Amino acid sequence: MIHFERTKLANGLTVIVHQDKTTPMVAMDVCYNVGSRDEHPDRTGFAHLFEHLMFGGSKHIPSYDEPLQKAGGDNNAFTSNDLTNYYLTLPKNNIETGFWLESDRMLELAFSKTSLDVQRNVVIEEFKQRYLNQPYGDVWPLLRQLAFKVHPYQWPTIGREISHIENATMQQVKDFFFAHYAPDNAVLVVSGNVDFDEVLTLADRWFGPIPNRNVKPRNIPQEPVQTEIREQTVIRDVPNDTIYFAWHMVDRLDPLYFATDLISDVLSNGNSSRMYVNLVQKEKLFSELDAYLSGDYEPGLFVVSGKPSNGVSLETARKAIERELDRMKQDLVPEYELEKVKNKLEASIVYGEMNYLTKAMNLATNEILKDAELINSQVDSYRSVTTKLIQEVSRQLFRPENCSVLNYIAKK
Partner 1 sequence: MLNRTIQPPVNPIEHIDIVQAEKRLLSNGIPVHFVNAGTQDVVKIDFIFEAGTWFQPINLVASLCNSMLEEGSEKYTAAEIGEKFDFYGAYIQLIADQNQGFVNVISLGKYLPAILEVTENLLKHSVFPDHELEVLIAKNKQKFLLENEKVRTLCQKKFTQVMFGDAHPYAINNKLEDFDKVSREELIRFYKSFYHSGNCHIIVAGMVDESVLNLLDKHFGGNDWQQSPIKVPEYAICSDPEKRHWVEKANGVQSAVRVGKFWVPKTHPDYHALSVLVTILGGYFGSRLMANIREEKGYTYGIGSFILTLKQASYLVISTELGNKNVEPALTEVAFEMRRLQTEPVSENELETVKSYLLGEFLRDFDGPFALAGSFKAINDFGLDYSFYDNYLHVLRTITSEELMKLAQQFLNPEDCYTVVAGSKLV
Instruction: At 156, give phi and psi (nearest 5°).
Output: -80, 165
Task: Indicate the Cα dihedral angle 149, 150, 152, 156, nearest 10°.
Answer: 10
Residue 218, interface with partner 1 (CB under 8 A)? no
Of the candidates 2, 11, 19, 91, which one interacts with partner 1 according to CB under 8 A?
A: 91
Q: Which residues lie closer than 8 Å to 226 by C-beta, 6 or more apart?
A: 147, 248, 401, 402, 403, 404
Min CB(193)–partner 1 separation in Å? 10
CB-nearer residue toward partner 1: 35 or 306: 306
Min CB(340)–partner 1 separation in Å? 5
CB-nearer residue toward partner 1: 144 or 274: 274
Residue 396, interface with partner 1 (CB under 8 A)? no
* β partners of residue 231: 405
Report whether 393 contacts 260 (CB < 8 A): yes
Nearest to 86 by CA among 187, 5, 6, 220: 187
Residue 94, interface with partner 1 (CB under 8 A)? yes
Of the candidates 294, 344, 373, 407, which one interacts with partner 1 according to CB under 8 A?
A: 344
Site for partner 1 in 96-155 (CB under 8 A): 96-97, 99-100, 103-104, 107, 117-123, 125-126, 128-129, 132-135
Q: Contacts with partner 1: how many residues (CB under 8 A)?
A: 81
Nearest to 380 by CA among 331, 345, 356, 333: 345
Where helices occur in 39-112 by DSSP H, the ranges are: 46-53, 65-70, 95-107
Query: What character string, x for contact with partner 1 (CB under 8 A) and - otherwise, covers 272-301?
Result: xx--xx--xx--x--xx-------------
Min CB(38)–partner 1 separation in Å? 23
Min CB(60)–partner 1 separation in Å? 4
CB-nearer residue toward partner 1: 134 or 384: 134
* β partners of residue 403: 247
Site for partner 1 in 52-81 (CB under 8 A): 59-61, 65-67, 69-75
* β partners of residue 7: 15
What Rg, from alpha-carbon coordinates, does the chain have?
Answer: 23
Angle between helices 356-369 and 335-352 (to 10 degrees): 110
Site for partner 1 in 301-320 (CB under 8 A): 307, 309-310
Residue 231, interface with partner 1 (CB under 8 A)? no
| Strands 186-192 and 230-236, sheet pairing | unpaired
